[in-house]
Chains A and B, each alone.
Chain A
Amino acid sequence: MTLKDVNPGQVCVIEGIGKKSSLRKRIIDMGLTIGTKIEVRKLAPLGDPIEILIRGYHLSLRKAEAAEVFVRLI
């Protein structure tokens, strides 16, 4: 599954970043490395983007970008 499908309140672990993502490098350098825990905090009022908690800070990304982050729920 991808980060896009994770509901607010759920916690997951990163398994990989999509190869096609043009933002791949940026996503990785922001700390989204394999094995890192992510908590999805909320959706924006209009349903997109999403807010996640990672490595102790808050990050927002669009669903299209979240769809490139492969995760496993824990």
Chain B
Amino acid sequence: MGLHIALVGNPNSGKTTLFNDLTGSNQYVGNWPGVTVEKKTGKAKHDHLPIDITDLPGIYSFSTYTLEEVIAREFVESGDVDVIINIVDASNIERNLFLTLQLLEMGKPMVIAMNMMDVLKTRGTLLDCEALSKQLNVPIVPIVASKSQGIKELLQAAVDQMGIVPPLPMIYNEPLEHVIQMVEKKLKVSVMSRMHAVRFVEEGGIAVLGHTIDPVFLAQLNEEVEKKIAFKSIDRDMVISDEKYAFITNLVSGVTTQIKEKEKYSLSDKIDAIVTHRIFAIPIFLMVMFGLFSLSFGPVGSFFKSNFEWLIQEGIIVPISNILEFLQVSDWMYSLVVDGVLGGVGSVLSFLPEITILFLTLSILEDTGYMARAAFIMDRLLRKFGLSGRSFIPMIMGFGCTVPALMATRTLESERDRRLTMMITPFMSCGARFPIYAVFAAAFFADSQATVVFSIYLLGIVIAVVSGIILKRFVTKGKISSFIMELPEYRWPTPKNLFLHTWDRVKGFIIKAGTVILVAMVIIWFLQSFDFSFRMVDDSVNSIFGIIGSQLAILFKPLGFGDWRSAMSLIVGLVAKEAVVGTLGVLYGVGEAAVDNPELLSAPLRTMYTPLTAYAFMAFTLLYMPCIAAFAAMKREMNSWKWTLIAVTYQTGVAWMVAFVIYQGGLLLGLR
């Protein structure tokens, strides 16, 4: 028997920080059933009493119908919650209290955690928590979430409050209150009747109340409300919110005192004067993105990556293969473990350092509040391509690795924006595709390698933009995207938050490498090691894969690379794109070494490709369906097989057409 607490609050109120304070590393991140909204649960203890804590999505209100709001409302209503902790940002108290009033009307035991009193104080405002608590009939515990202060007291207050539903404060003026009471009486809904009655007054709430009540009766009641509410000169759906805010404005002015004059521009405003400046904003944005990128995939990232690779090789792969040799296991067993499992999973895991740095940097940008500014700056440009300001984050991440980039689309509010962003993010050339360009550029464009590789990256961006413009006409399902977004105060990120935030995502990546990718690797290994009569083959051309590859090769003939080796390497590339180079290396008999030493492949490649076909091949590898790991991520994030298949079919179709145009167009122009 423990206590179940739900954490509810506005976005940017310090809710995640408080959740981390309460649970430490004792937390679990999953999804709400059936949807892609993150669900965080954790455990805490107070005086030996075990406490389960659920972190509900950050919301501003319960009255609209975004996914997050519905989830939060249903969870609070479900009866699994013993006490609600409502975190309130004292420095933004009016809007935060709006949600508080809605929560009070849900009739659950509740405690308010008053956060960021310190910020308020630096603005010269004092808040009398005791007076506020008396007016709202709810205990208020001042906390400083970023410094883990007041946590014990908060838990104590929550435990004390168990089973107590305090009387509601008088929120509405007499006439409106009467209307609500009338509805309450007539509906005779005992549990949380107040909230339902209020919503009924607001919107006629047949949808809210379900179909258990006679619709004729509801329609009559609705008409009655309509008549009685006519004394308010404003529209019916505004009446409730209007009086709530009026109550709050009045309440707040009674419990705050201004001890020194408020400065017109806070430090945050001063930072914004530069960061979102008309002229400086875009250069600063580009610099930040460049910094993020070069940290993750530049010298720092590749330093860690090469050391980590060495560690995997020497610390895991070599010892295990030695043991296997010592045990004298059969050839196929050795090959399965070393080539299939270790080689495959190892190559994916080798991206771990870069991905960790990328996630860490992104967490910093998010926690400081810069992300919201970046979205603010980029929104107009991205909207032209059917995206939103927030789409740029996944797209930038796509240059690193498509898998986390797809996961990052969760920050997008509208389903439609998410879907579009996920469809075009794979066109951003991920890090794993780079080795392919490196090999081909070295072999065919020795004098202009950098330019050629750059042009491939650029091609990806251009295709993404064109796709956005085309696809936005077709992907119209879902709500119209909006950009009503808070620009929170700049804040120092706390190490604990950064660590937990980064760890969450890194953990997800490791789990994926250990499950989906592992299985895929074993299957691929099997397909390229055995023939159709399930005998192990020496030369992979005779394997199931080789045979399929030579059949498929005909599809690539119009693109200029219709030999079975190219076809096969492209299929293997679905496991991990960098495997294209490894496969070509094996097939041309120079071995895996080609990955580290591109020149080795130059001579054999020159016998099979021309500069023109090489370029078409590079374009194809850039654009065609992303790897299995990205495919799995896309399926999970889209939550739909249909859209996932549409996306990869589109991507592969585009790849084929672009390579076709490059090759055939090049031939027409007399290129070779």
Instruction: A22 to B93: give the CA distance in the assembly, Å.
Output: 26
Q: Is the CB of B484 within 8 A of A27?
A: yes
Q: Find chain A residues with CB under 8 A from B276 CB.
A: 42, 44-45, 51
Instruction: A49 to B481: give the CA distance in the assembly, Å.
Output: 13
> With A42-B276, A45-B278 known to touch, is A28 a contact of B241 (CB < 8 Å)?
yes
Across the interface, A29 reaches (CB within 8 A) one of B60, B281, B479, B483, namely B60
Q: Find chain B residues with CB under 8 A from A1 CB.
A: none
Q: Is the CB of A49 within 8 A of B380?
A: yes
Q: Find chain A residues with CB under 8 A from B483 CB.
A: 49, 60-62, 65
Kindly report which residue of chain A lies nearest to residue B381, judged by CB atoms: A46
Instruction: A34 to B242: give the CA distance in the assembly, Å.
Output: 7
Instruction: A43 to B379: give the CA distance in the assembly, Å.
Output: 12
Most buried by A among B235, B483, B485, B486: B483
Instruction: A36 to B234: give the CA distance in the assembly, Å.
Output: 14
Instruction: A34 to B91: give the CA distance in the assembly, Å.
Output: 22
Across the interface, A48 reaches (CB within 8 A) one of B60, B91, B380, namely B380
Q: Is the CB of A30 within 8 A of B237?
A: no
Q: Is the CB of A31 within 8 A of B94?
A: yes
Q: Find chain A residues with CB under 8 A from B376 CB.
A: 44, 49, 51, 60
> With A59-B484, A65-B484 known to touch, is A26 a contact of B245 (CB < 8 Å)?
no
Name A18-72 residues within 8 Å CB distance of B: 19, 22-31, 33-34, 36, 42-49, 51, 55-62, 65
Q: Is residue B649 contacting chain A, with contact meaning CB distance below 8 A?
A: no
Kindly report which residue of chain A lies nearest to residue B99, judged by CB atoms: A29
Across the interface, A31 reaches (CB within 8 A) one of B63, B98, B281, B377, namely B98
Name B244-295 residues within 8 Å CB distance of A: 245-246, 272, 276-279, 281-282
Q: Is residue B168 contacting chain A, with contact meaning CB distance below 8 A?
A: no
> With A45-B282, A51-B276 known to touch, is A60 a contact of B380 (CB < 8 Å)?
no
Q: Is the CB of A51 within 8 A of B487?
A: yes
> With A44-B380, A45-B278 known to touch, is A17 a contact of B238 (CB < 8 Å)?
yes
Instruction: A61 to B481: give the CA distance in the assembly, Å.
Output: 11
Q: Is the CB of A46 within 8 A of B63?
A: no
Interface size bucket, A side?
A: 20 to 34
How many A-B Cβ pairs are below 8 Å?
111
Q: Produce 1/0 per residue, B78-120, CB < 8 A to A.
A: 0000000000000111110010000000000000000000000
Q: Find chain A residues with CB under 8 A from B98 CB.
A: 29, 31
Q: Find chain B residues with CB under 8 A from A45 CB.
A: 276-279, 281-282, 377
Q: Is residue B31 contacting chain A, with contact meaning CB distance below 8 A?
A: no
Instruction: A23 to B379: give the CA distance in the assembly, Å.
Output: 18
Q: Is the CB of B486 within 8 A of A62?
A: no
Q: Find chain B residues with CB under 8 A from A36 CB.
A: 245
Q: Produce 1/0 per residue, B481-499, CB < 8 A to A.
A: 0111111100000000000
Q: Find chain A residues with CB under 8 A from B92 CB.
A: 55-57
Q: Find chain A residues with CB under 8 A from B245 CB.
A: 31, 33, 36
Q: Find chain B residues with CB under 8 A from A65 CB.
A: 482-484
Q: Is residue B61 contacting chain A, with contact meaning CB distance below 8 A?
A: yes
Q: Is the CB of B379 within 8 A of A19?
A: no
Q: Is residue B668 contacting chain A, with contact meaning CB distance below 8 A?
A: no
Closest chain-B Cβ to A24's Cβ sits at a distance in Å of: 7
Q: Find chain A residues with CB under 8 A from B381 CB.
A: 46
Across the interface, B63 reaches (CB within 8 A) one of A17, A25, A51, namely A25
Q: Is the CB of B487 within 8 A of A28?
A: no
Most buried by B among A19, A27, A55: A55
Kindly report which residue of chain B lies nearest to residue A52, judged by CB atoms: B487
Q: Is residue B533 contacting chain A, with contact meaning CB distance below 8 A?
A: no
Q: Is residue B480 contacting chain A, with contact meaning CB distance below 8 A?
A: yes
Instruction: A58 to B272: give the CA distance in the assembly, Å.
Output: 11
Closest chain-A Cβ to B10's Cβ sits at a distance in Å of: 10
Q: Is the CB of A22 within 8 A of B480?
A: yes
Closest chain-A Cβ to B115's Cβ sits at a distance in Å of: 14
Q: Is residue B64 contacting chain A, with contact meaning CB distance below 8 A?
A: yes
Name B587-637 residues within 8 Å CB distance of A: none
Most buried by A among B234, B276, B377: B276
Q: Find chain B residues with CB under 8 A from A46 CB.
A: 377, 379-381
Q: Find chain B residues with CB under 8 A from A48 CB.
A: 379-380
Q: Find chain A residues with CB under 8 A from B235 CB.
A: 19
Q: Is the CB of A58 within 8 A of B486?
A: yes
> With A30-B95, A31-B98, A45-B278 known to touch, is A59 a contact of B485 (CB < 8 Å)?
yes
Q: Find chain B residues with CB under 8 A from A28 CB.
A: 237-238, 241-242
Closest chain-A Cβ to B11's Cβ sits at a distance in Å of: 11
Closest chain-B Cβ to A41's Cβ sits at a distance in Å of: 8
Name B382-435 residues within 8 Å CB distance of A: 389
Name B350-371 residues within 8 Å CB distance of A: none
Kindly report which residue of chain B lies nearest to residue A61, judged by CB atoms: B484
Instruction: A45 to B63: give the CA distance in the assembly, Å.
Output: 33
Instruction: A48 to B242: give the CA distance in the assembly, Å.
Output: 28
Closest chain-B Cβ to A67's Cβ sits at a distance in Å of: 13
Q: Find chain B residues with CB under 8 A from A31 CB.
A: 94-95, 98, 245
Kindly report which residue of chain B lies nearest to residue A53, judged by CB atoms: B269
Across the interface, B234 reaches (CB within 8 A) one of A26, A34, A55, A60, namely A34
What are 8 pairs between A and B in contact, CB < 8 Å? A25-B61, A26-B60, A26-B61, A31-B245, A33-B242, A36-B245, A43-B278, A44-B380
* B residues neighboring A (CB under 8 Å): 60-61, 63-64, 91-95, 98, 234-235, 237-238, 241-242, 245-246, 272, 276-279, 281-282, 372, 376-377, 379-381, 389, 479-480, 482-488
* A residues neighboring B (CB under 8 Å): 16-17, 19, 22-31, 33-34, 36, 42-49, 51, 55-62, 65
- What 3 pairs across the A-B complex have the smallest Cβ distances? A29-B61, A46-B380, A58-B487
For the complex with contacts A51-B376, A60-B487, 7 further pairs of A-B residues with Cβ separation under 8 Å are A31-B98, A46-B377, A49-B483, A55-B95, A56-B92, A58-B487, A62-B379
